[in-house]
Amino acid sequence: MRLDRFLSHSSGLSRNQVKVLLHRGDVLIDGQPVRDSSLQVNATNRITLEGKLLHWPRNYYVMLHKPLGYVCSTEESSHPLVASLIARVWAGELHSAGRLDADTTGLVLLTNDGNWSHALTSPRRHCDKTYLAGVKHPLQPELVERFAAGIVLNDDPKPTLPAQLQILDTHSARVKLHEGRYHQVRRMFAACSNRVETLHREAIGNIALDASLQSGQWRELTSEEVANV
């Protein structure tokens, strides 16, 4: 995190007030005065302001039931951002641990803890993601084996990792993936000459979307959920 951001978050001062204090040499990092507001700092730094030790802002872990039309980006977009659904001063600090397309609904996890989101999304962790897909054409039983064997996408020669497909009825299925390539579920069905019309994420790893959350609602994760990814 940038030093000026850390200072204003942990002290409650405005960016301008922070600038003045930095200029005056009132900010020490590990005992040394620092004037560069853009310096990157982390939780291992001991940062004092006018002699007082500042504490690292707390971590937030949120599950959101993402509605259609919202994007998981942190940058401005023509679509509204998922963080705008979280009416808290700290919402702007959050990033999503694994994105969903604007056209996909369901579970999005948001946090300001980069280590946690990295652990959750790292390809080496193979954290399962579970989706419900509604498709245009009837589902053939052979598709179960094709998903399990790995599918060569139309525009990528590297086959997908084995995925589980559970056919629920002629036009809907539950898909469990261990990886998270761009638009992966839609592209897997497209490679099998079908088309995803609705897509909803039910779970990431051990965290399932809370059934009591309506579209657009959110809650903080419990400490058990945070620890049990």
CB-wise, 26 or 101, nearer to ligand URA? 101
CB-wise, 47 or 120, nearer to ligand URA? 120
CB-wise, 20 or 68, nearer to ligand URA? 68
Minimum distance of ligand URA from residue 184's CB (angstroms) = 4
Binding stretches for ligand URA (CB under 6 A): 100-101, 104, 183-186, 199
Q: Which of 105, 103, 101, 72 is nearest to 86 (CA)?
A: 72
Minimum distance of ligand URA from residue 55's CB (angstroms) = 36
Minimum distance of ligand URA from residue 186's CB (angstroms) = 4
CB-wise, 45 or 172, nearer to ligand URA? 172
Q: Which of 198, 191, 122 is nearest to 163 (CA)?
A: 191
Q: Are 163 and 177 in contact (CB under 8 A)?
A: yes
Distance CA(41)–CA(111), nearest Å, equals 18
Q: Is the dihedral of CA 220, 113, 80, 171 positive or negative?
A: negative
Minimum distance of ligand URA from residue 66's CB (angstroms) = 9
Q: Locate tokens 């790995």: which residue?
A: 150
Which residues are designated catalytic? 101
Q: Is the dihedral of CA 201, 206, 212, 213 positive or negative?
A: negative
Helix 15-23 and helix 3-11, axial crossing angle in degrees, nearest 10:
110
